[in-house]
Amino acid sequence: MADAEKIASKQKQISISEFFEKNKHFLGFDTLQRAVITAVKEAVDNSLDACEEARILPELKVEINKLKGDKLELICRDNGPGIPRDSVENVFGKFLLGSRFHAIRQTRGQQGIGITGVVMYSQLTTGSKTHVISKIKSDSSAVHVDLGLDTRKNKATKSNEIRDVWFEDGEEVVNGLKIKTVMKAKYQRGRQSVHQYLRMTSIVNPHATIQLIVRDGDDVIDQGHWIRTTEKLPRVVEEIKPHPHGIHLGQLQRMLKEAPERRLTSFLRHNFSGVSMRAAKEILRRSELEEGRTPVRIKADEAQALLDSFQEVKLLAPPTDCLSPIEEILIKKGLSKAIDSRFASTVTRKPTVSQGNPFQIEVGLVFGGDLAADGPIEVLRFANRVPLMYQQGGCLMTKALESVNWKQYGLDHPGGKGLPKGPAAVLIHLASTNVQFTSEAKEAVSDNEEVFEEIRRAMLEVGRGLKNHLKKSKQKKKAQEKFDLINIILPEISRKSSEMLGREEPDLSPVITRIMNAVFLEDDVSWDNDAKQNICSVSIYNYTARARAYTILAKWPEGEGVSMAENPRGGRKETNGLWAWRLDTLNPGESAEIRFTVEGLTKGDWNETDIFFRGNGDIIGANKIDEKLLDEMRKVEALAVAEAEANPKYEDIGSLERVLDRAEPVEGLNAGKEESDSETTPAETEGTPAETENWGSLAMEDDVE
């Protein structure tokens, strides 16, 4: 008994701050090289979130000064809304304090750990406090304060607090935040560095301007300046309620216990997304619970019955306005300011759901330019616009990329395993209300079948884009070489022969046409700086011996605020983002041009298009369109519009992708299923009884596929 009491007397509760103090590797401070990256990450993430919430275009500056003895001084400054005086010590000096943990929406940080971890690590390794300057617009002066951390009380300690005017570069700061801290860390260059982190951050945040300066004494040893390429801020994300498919028993019991509602029907409708009155009544009927029961009186076995019924009743999909994707055009702009390449293929998948949590996948692939051709491709991984710098091999994103046979898309992929090789870089972005990481340091995404399949399908789409680009380039190069050769040699032979025979030079057009024996297409997208419009021109040359008739189809970035300004040939809309023109008879040796302008974009938004055709024979520079697939796309678009009009609050999730992913492979159109790379998975065919209501007939299609 005495021994037991002695052991028990040694038990002592520790605070969360003490726990992280002894386990700093959980926060990403496990090595000197990673410590500075983690510190910059936490400061930059907070700054970007604050600016976006205040609808301010971010201006971020990061300075690193090397000191003696493996120490660094880190200075981070932003132009955000600042932090009120009374909140400064809580934001920087208390773990697990935040406004985002219980909010179901896409944010960079949620746990309330990040920046407090920087203050703790600085104090732990150098004994120094973190200096904070905060200025909100409504105050006449800024708060200047030194902050430390009392780890036993999980509370900030502050000193030297004053209010004073804040000047930067000779000008008074109207609003913003600046932190200065000294920590034990090492600055290094390379793929895992602060420079690379900020470069990657600038790619997925094209609305931000980010500057980096690294000094060793008076010498600048590294720097970077990434200027924003768009004035468009990410859309405001809305907070949503939890969806029944993502609820666990303990969580449900807590919600029942804390519910203010007096009836179970009201509880289900007011506390969950996707639950209509019809669905609420059906859930209770299957659970054998009366509608008038009080939630707080529900017992454990009844809560379990309620939870089981969630999986048996058709429910509305959760709203997707809680997500903020980068969008295809901005992915291209972001990649263009960080990577010099000749070609870019991007895709933003429709939002979908995993375990009740909405998520969305975006992928961008760039090829050529100054990218190295003799090694593995560069992989850029992001979760909610935050770069993932470590554990690449153990990340779900990398596994999904490696599952594709890239050899058939034009990259070197020995054995079909590991990363492909070639002058390419692939960007993968996961936007989600609940990103599941492999560890507390948030360095890699953990395994999830639904997320894996969405990433893989996106890879197939950009892969097809690359394949078509390479095929088109190869065809054009061969045709151009042949055409140039003929136009150099034949005229010279004709000229010499005519001189020798004393005759007039013959018309060589029929001869050239007979030798070329091909229909050749050239397309170009240019920017008119005066009119602020994109000009797309498509030229078709008939180098065959007979007349031809074609319908030409061009992809264009149709969307909100983007429209065709001029289109002399008229034509018609085939489906969203695809326009068609029927050409008159094109006789041998003749050519035709299609020209249209697009307004609503900015320079660099649209640089290349995909061209398809209807008609007999091939066209070098275009791909034949698949009519069956196009018809399916039209039907799905009509269905999505009808459902959006009937229920505008909820979006149809994934319907277009379901049709396209089931379609037969078609060369040239960035949709459909690859022969060797899109085997149907059990998750796609088995289905569940709990398909969402607004998926409608598409859910039944999955069941009978």
Q: What is the pLDDT of residue 10?
A: 47
Per-residue pLDDT reduced to its tens digit, 598-633? 998 887 778 878 889 988 878 888 888 878 777 777
| 643 in the same domain as 571 | no
Q: What is the pLDDT of residue 104?
A: 59
- Looking at mean pLDDT, say which of 26-30, 39-43, 120-124, 236-240 comes out highest: 39-43
Single out the residue in 310, 334, 360 at which a domain terminates.
310
Residue 171 within a domain: yes
| 79 in the same domain as 23 | yes
- Least confident range from 21-25, 354-358, 635-639: namely 21-25
Report whether 586 contacts 538 (CB < 8 A): no
- The number of folded domains in the chain is 4
Q: What is the pLDDT of residue 121?
A: 83
The two structure tokens encoding residue 51 = 């600016």
Share of the chain above pLDDT 90, in %: 25
Per-residue pLDDT reduced to its tens digit, 38-61? 889 888 988 998 898 899 999 999
- Compute the half-sphere exposure of residue 629: CA atoms within 13 Å on the CB side of its CA: 19
- Say which amino acid occupies 516: M
Residue 388 within a domain: no
Domain that holds residue 549: 507-625
- Least confident range from 180-194, 238-252, 679-693: namely 679-693
Single out the residue in 284, 310, 336 at which a domain terminates.
310
Query: What is the distance between the alpha carbons of residues 584 and 542, in angstroms, rounded to a whole number?
Result: 12
> Strand 623-624 relative to strand 611-614: parallel, antiparallel, unpaired?
parallel
Mean pLDDT along residues 226-250: 83
| 179 in the same domain as 32 | yes
Q: Is the pLDDT of residue 132 over 60?
A: yes
Query: What is the distance between the alpha carbons of residues 208 and 78, in angstroms, rounded to a whole number?
Result: 11
Own/partner contacts of 505-514, CB < 8 Å, gap of 24 or more, are: 509/589, 510/588, 510/589, 512/486, 512/487, 512/543, 513/542, 513/543, 513/544, 513/545, 513/588, 513/589, 514/545
Query: What is the distance between the alpha carbons of residues 270 and 290, in angstroms, rounded to a whole number?
Result: 17
Mean pLDDT along residues 233-249: 81
Q: Is the pLDDT of residue 415 over 50?
A: yes
| 177 in the same domain as 258 | no
Mean pLDDT along residues 462-480: 81
| 130 in the same domain as 52 | yes
| 181 in the same domain as 33 | yes
**How big is the CA angle at 392 (ends 388 and 393), to the nearest 5 degrees?**
160
- Say which amino acid occupies 329: I
Q: Is the pLDDT of residue 452 over 90?
A: yes
Q: Is the pLDDT of residue 14 over 80?
A: no
Higher pLDDT, 659 or 543: 543
Residue 287 within a domain: yes
Helix intervals (H) in 11-129: 16-22, 32-53, 85-93, 114-126
How confident is residue 164, by pLDDT bands cut at 50, 70 and 90?
A: very high
How confident is residue 380, by pLDDT bands cut at 50, 70 and 90?
A: very high
Q: What is the pLDDT of residue 334?
A: 79
- Say which amino acid occupies 339: I
Higher pLDDT, 346 or 475: 346
Mean pLDDT along residues 454-476: 86
How does DSSP assign 279-297, residue by residue?
HHHHHHHHHT--TT--GGG
How does DSSP assign 495-537, residue by residue?
HHHHHHHT-PPPP-HHHHHHHH-EEEEEEEEEEETTTTEEEEE
- pTM equals 0.70
Q: Which CATH number is 540's domain given?
A: 2.60.40.1170
| 252 in the same domain as 214 | no
Q: Is the pLDDT of residue 639 over 60?
A: yes
The two structure tokens encoding residue 30 = 């496990």
- Compute how many other C-beta atoms are within 10 angstroms of the C-beta atom of residue 266: 17
Q: What is the pLDDT of residue 598?
A: 94
Q: Which CATH number is 293's domain given?
A: 1.10.8.50
Q: What is the pLDDT of residue 19?
A: 52
Q: What is the pLDDT of residue 124?
A: 82
| 126 in the same domain as 216 | yes
Average pLDDT, the chain: 79
| 75 in the same domain as 213 | yes
| 214 in the same domain as 103 | yes
Mean pLDDT along residues 243-250: 82
Mean pLDDT along residues 527-537: 92
Q: What is the pLDDT of residue 460?
A: 92
Mean pLDDT along residues 321-331: 83
| 67 in the same domain as 203 | yes
Higher pLDDT, 81 or 341: 81
Residue 4 within a domain: no
3-state secondary structure of 265: helix
- Least confident range from 90-94, 238-242, 313-317, 693-697: namely 693-697
Single out the residue in 295, 310, 325 at which a domain terminates.
310
Per-residue pLDDT reduced to its tens digit, 416-444? 888 999 999 999 999 888 888 887 667 88
Higher pLDDT, 163 or 434: 163
Q: Is the pLDDT of residue 97 over 70?
A: no
Residue 320 within a domain: no
Higher pLDDT, 368 or 246: 368
- Least confident range from 63-72, 289-298, 455-464, 695-704: namely 695-704
Q: Is the pLDDT of residue 356 over 80?
A: no
Residue 511 within a domain: yes
Q: Starting at the earlier edge strand, list the strands of the sheet with 578-582.
A: 572-575, 578-582, 551-555, 611-614, 623-624
Q: What is the pLDDT of residue 120?
A: 82
Q: Is the pLDDT of residue 26 over 60?
A: no
Residue 481 within a domain: no
Q: Which CATH number is 85's domain given?
A: 3.30.565.10
| 638 in the same domain as 617 | no
Residue 301 within a domain: yes
